[in-house]
Structure 1
Amino acid sequence: MLKLLGACIILIGTTWAGFQHARTFAERPKQIRRVRSALQLLETEIGYGTRTLVDACQSIAARMDGFVQAIFHQAHQNLLQLDGASTYECFAQAIESNWGATCMKQPEKQVILDFCKTLGISDRQDQLQNLAVTKSNLEIEEHRAQEEQTQYEKMFKTLGILAGALLIILMY
């Protein structure tokens, strides 16, 4: 009876671990889409709005949820509080401190940071062009993430179950 209980716990644990790892592959394209949506809102604010970047960040934070909200809220706070810091430094600090809550990888982070380098230092048209380039780069990364999801998600789910079965066989 105790062996059966131990085997069930092992199987449940490894299956859970496999499903958790597979979840990161499923969540990554969704999170990239959320970032692209936030950039679309920023594009609207820059192109048609008359708000400052600080107010635009606050507006985007109010409309979004999750880590995107946290990034724009902290960028808003940084822009208000960090005297003498550049726009890039304010956004980079917000991204760095909230990046751990995402399933996204380094390429997406680099695309966003590269965009932040140009944010607030050029005219409206140039910023809109940079936004378009950034959104298309994120779209490419989203397609890559979807390919990885297709390739690896099912594999990790199955691997979790099979690893548990293997451990149970080896132990008994």
Structure 2
Amino acid sequence: MIKLVGAALVLFAGTMLGFLQAARFAERPKQIRHLLHALQRLETEIGYGQTPLPEALARMAGVLPETLAVLFRRIADELRSSSGETVKNAWERILSEGWPTTAMKAGEKEAMLRLGSSLGGSGRDDQLKHVRLAVLQLQAEETSAREDQMKYERLSRSLGVLGAALVVILMM
């Protein structure tokens, strides 16, 4: 009886691990898409609204899911504070601290870090060019993420179930 309960728990745990990994593959393209929409909004704020960067980032956070919104809210709060930290330093520090909570990978992080190094330190036209460049880079990453999702999402689910079944068989 105890072996049966243990086998059921192992099977359940392995299956859930596979499903969690599959969900991560599914979440990455969604988060990139949200980030692309937010960057387009930032581009509008910089180009047409001429909104100060902290306010533009706070508005950007308003259209993002909470996982990403918290990063941009923290950057905006840091820029509003009188700590004297540069935009680049605050951007890099907060993105580096919060990036592991997202489903995104190093390519997306690199594009965002490059964008942060140019925001607030150059003219409006230069900032707009950097935002557009980040959008292009993220679009390429989104394509890659969708391909990974198609390849590995189903595989992850199957491996979770099959791996757990193998462990159960070895236990018996």
Using structure 2 for the length normalisation, give the TM-score. Answer: 0.94
Comparing 76-85 with 112-121, which one deviates more in the overlay? 76-85
Q: CA deviation at 1:124?
A: 1.3
Q: CA deviation at 1:108?
A: 0.7
C-alpha contact (below 8 Å) 2:25/2:149 kept by paired residues: yes
Distance 1:126 1:142 in 2: 24
Instruction: Give the corresponding residue for 1:49.
Output: 49
Comparing 98-107 with 58-67, which one deviates more in the overlay? 58-67
Q: CA deviation at 1:82?
A: 4.8
Comparing 9-18 with 119-128, which one deviates more in the overlay? 119-128
Instruction: Give the corresponding residue for 1:20.
Output: 20
Instruction: Give the corresponding residue for 1:128.
Output: 128
Instruction: Give the corresponding residue for 1:165.
Output: 165
Comparing 10-19 with 54-63, which one deviates more in the overlay? 54-63
Amino acid in structure 1 at the alignment position of 2:144: R
Instruction: Give the corresponding residue for 1:78.
Output: 78
Amino acid in structure 2 at the alignment position of 1:105: K
User: What runs of 5+ residues in structure 1 fail to find an aligned partner?
Assistant: none
User: What runs of 5+ residues in structure 2 fail to find an aligned partner?
Assistant: none
- Following superposition, which runs of at least 4 residues in structure 1 exceed 4 angstroms of deviation? none
Instruction: Give the corresponding residue for 2:148.
Output: 148
Q: CA deviation at 1:126?
A: 1.5
Instruction: Give the corresponding residue for 1:10.
Output: 10
C-alpha contact (below 8 Å) 1:88/1:116 kept by paired residues: yes
Percent identity over paired residues: 38
Amino acid in structure 2 at the alignment position of 1:152: Y
Q: Match of 2:151, SS?
A: helix
Q: CA deviation at 1:67?
A: 2.2
C-alpha contact (below 8 Å) 1:22/1:156 kept by paired residues: yes
Distance 1:19 1:64 in 2: 24
Comparing 61-70 with 147-156, which one deviates more in the overlay? 61-70
The root-mean-square deviation of aligned C-alpha atoms, in Å, is: 1.3
